Amino acid sequence: MDGFDSLTNNQITAIRKAAKRGDARAQCSLGMMYADGRGVVQNDAEAMKWICEAVKQGYATAYFGLGRMYELGRGISKNYAEAAKWFHRAAEQGHAKSQFFLGSMCFRGRGVARNDAEAAKWYGKAAEQGYKDAQNNLGVMYYEGRGVARNDTEAVRWFRMAAEQGHAVAQSNLGIMCFYGLGVFLSYFEAMQWLRKAAEQGNEKARRFLGAINWHQAIAEQGNTVAQFIFGDVRESGYNVAKNETSKQHCVVMEVGEAELHYNLGLMYCEGRGEFKGEAKNKAIRRFRKAAELGHAGAKNNLKRMSETLR
């Protein structure tokens, strides 16, 4: 449950002695060491024994430990209701990790009735204490409008807090928000920065997204006529390609989505990618409009922002 790998033999001995003297913190630590098998031989019965000793003294971290034992069915029968009860007791004492776990149980309906508002509440309390998993989840709640009013700006704020702590999923989420201009002014470069950080940590969603971006960029940098063909503007460009190339590009549209391709090319116009100059802004607006007509939320948002900027 918690790391004790770095403890020396002398430190482990000191923890044992303190636990036997009735020190709640030492009792809880020893219990969790037995639960994880770190510094001692793994033993769920001993884990329960020492965690319960600390629980008797009202130690919040022990409440969390007991909740986890119930949640995982370690040393006792699995019982989500009991797990939620002990998480709640610790959460009320301000234990951030318990607040996060309680929020997750409310979100999933495990041991308690499913309740998005309660989930958002407890995620919020943990997030305010800097708990990065809670910050990311709270960002998702704001993005999806679950338990809170939908608010992209708040979603970005919490994603950013978690991302700056190295949370890979939050980095991916923030990158995508920057890419689409949701809750933040669109920025291709900031999007790439966060997506790359997430991908470097092995986040598969970020890796797939980066792959799509690179493909779109490669297409756009072939020049306007090729890009127009890819987006279905054959009539305007008068561009001719071989039959097999036509099939290839149509497959791209089907796989990624026509709206997404229009949107991404609009971003490239905005950021001066490739050879797009001069009328880049008007071309970007045109692409965003086409994507918006196809229901793309990011394009609609960007059109609104650009309209407000021109007022």
pLDDT in tens, 130-145: 999 999 999 999 999 9
- C-alpha dihedral, 156 to 157 to 162 to 166, nearest 10°: 70
pLDDT of 246 higher than 70: no
- Residue 281 confidence class, pLDDT cut points 50, 70, 90: confident
Chain centroid to CA 39: 33
- From the list 67, 96, 94, the residue with the least C-alpha distance to 81 is 67
pLDDT of 16 higher than 80: yes
CATH number at 81 reads 1.25.40.10
- From the list 218, 163, 152, the residue with the least C-alpha distance to 195 is 163
20 vs 208, residue with greater confidence: 20
Indicate the residue among 96, 121, 152 that finishes a domain. 96
295 vs 158, residue with greater confidence: 158
**pLDDT of 287:** 80
User: Which tokens belong to 15?
Assistant: 């923890």
> Is residue 155 in some structural domain?
no
> Is residue 177 in some structural domain?
no
> Is residue 269 in some structural domain?
yes
Whole-structure pTM value: 0.71
pLDDT of 206 higher than 70: yes
pLDDT of 156 higher than 70: yes
Indicate the residue among 73, 96, 119 that finishes a domain. 96
- From the list 121, 117, 132, 118, the residue with the least C-alpha distance to 174 is 132
- The Cα 224–Cα 123 span in angstroms is 47
Q: How many domains does the structure of the chain reveal?
A: 2
pLDDT tens digits for 35-94? 999 999 999 999 999 999 999 999 999 999 999 999 999 999 999 999 999 999 999 999
- Residue 269 confidence class, pLDDT cut points 50, 70, 90: low
| Collapsed DSSP state (helix, strand, coil) of residue 131 | coil
Tell me the mean pLDDT in the region 274-282: 55
pLDDT of 234 higher than 80: no
> Is residue 34 in some structural domain?
yes
Indicate the residue among 49, 73, 96 that finishes a domain. 96
Most confident of 2-6, 32-36, 186-190, 230-234: 32-36
> Is residue 146 in some structural domain?
no
> Is residue 182 in some structural domain?
no
**pLDDT of 214:** 67
> Is residue 216 in some structural domain?
no
Full domain range(s) for residue 32: 1-96
> Is residue 140 in some structural domain?
no
Tell me the mean pLDDT in the region 165-177: 96
